[in-house]
Structure 1
Amino acid sequence: MDQHTEAGGEHIHLIAHEESISPAGQSGDIALPPAELPGPVAVQGDLPLESAAAMVSSLAAGTEIDARRQVAEETARRPTAAMPTVGTLTSEFGQRWGSLHGGIDIANAIGTPIVAATDGTVIDAGPAQGFGNWVRLLSDEGTMTVYGHMEEVLVSTGQRIQAGQTIALMGSRGFSTGSHLHFEVWLNEGRERADPIEWLRQNGIATN
């Protein structure tokens, strides 16, 4: 019950309404504990330009690292040496008919693919005396490989080649008695002959 005093000194008693009054001041309501409000909510706004640039730079760096890793893995998987063609070994490296036969001969049908035995750069491609058509390939390590008597040359001077890449088609051009590949290996940038069979074996290529 509330009591109110008028200016004249009379006390007027105010009787509360029969209905209860809730702590919230609403008639007839049941008092409930105040609901718990969630704490502050972090709202992601725009990043400062410096932070955005740093994030982009970081993502770009990560992408570049992934790309380099992929290239390295692919390079590691691909062969660094290859058998130059398929066919029958008809002549080996060494003395033949009173003179040095400086390579090996592998016979097969005209048009059989010939591939690079190693990575490198083409230093000659096209007509050559005695060979009809030839390709000479120099590797970054200084090994020169020679391919002769081709029906068709498929590469050009200055072109970068990978081991196993087709460079020509087998033929019988030049001083030749039948369709075959004459294959030579030179070490020290062409200053030292090597037995192609031994060189292939040393590079993990089976020749049997």
Structure 2
Amino acid sequence: MNLKVRVSTLILAGSALVLSVGGFVAWRKLVAEPEAERAALDEGLDELEERAKRDRGKTPRFVKSVYSGSSDEARRSEQGEGLAVPQVANQGEGDPWELGPDEAVASFQRALEDLEAALDLDRPLTRAEQDALYNRATGSFEAMSNYIDGSSPDDRALMEDAYLHMKTLMAELRLERPAFEQAYDHHHPTRAPLPEGARPRRR
């Protein structure tokens, strides 16, 4: 009788160990896959940025406007009240506020970092922060898309991955299109002020 009990105990213990190991492996896989996907996306964007530096003279096509928040808080943030908005440095010849192809790619990468940093906050985002992050992400994505070679399968695949990653982060943050449309220049989307307490993740 004691032998049967011991065998049963060993079987149960072994099963529990297998389940624990299996659960740990599954958890590691779930954590590793998004990290691997982001790493692959970053690699593709880095290659695109390097290529863009060699093609600075390319003229982007006309871009439509995006949305901006209608709240007083959003307007105050856009006017620089209470939230720091970094300025774009003079890029040389031509319009100093126009992003070149490599700046557009770098701007989008920073937008992803801002979204990820916002996910680490232990408080809800304000309406102004939500609007700023939304405009920053969508504006920089469209600015980058101006320089993509639509005939290249690799470029199209990269943009699809970038768009999916951006929309996934925005969904996790529950970002929605701001209340009304406002004129906005996609050639130089203003960087969203990082929410108070957020720290950008290092790649």
| TM-score > 0.5, shorter chain as reference | no
More helix by share: 2
User: Which structure shows the higher strand fraction?
Assistant: 1
Give the TM-score of the pair, scaled to structure 1. 0.29
Structure with bigger RCO (C-alpha 8 Å, 6+ apart) = 2
Larger Rg: 1
> TM-score under structure 2 normalisation?
0.30
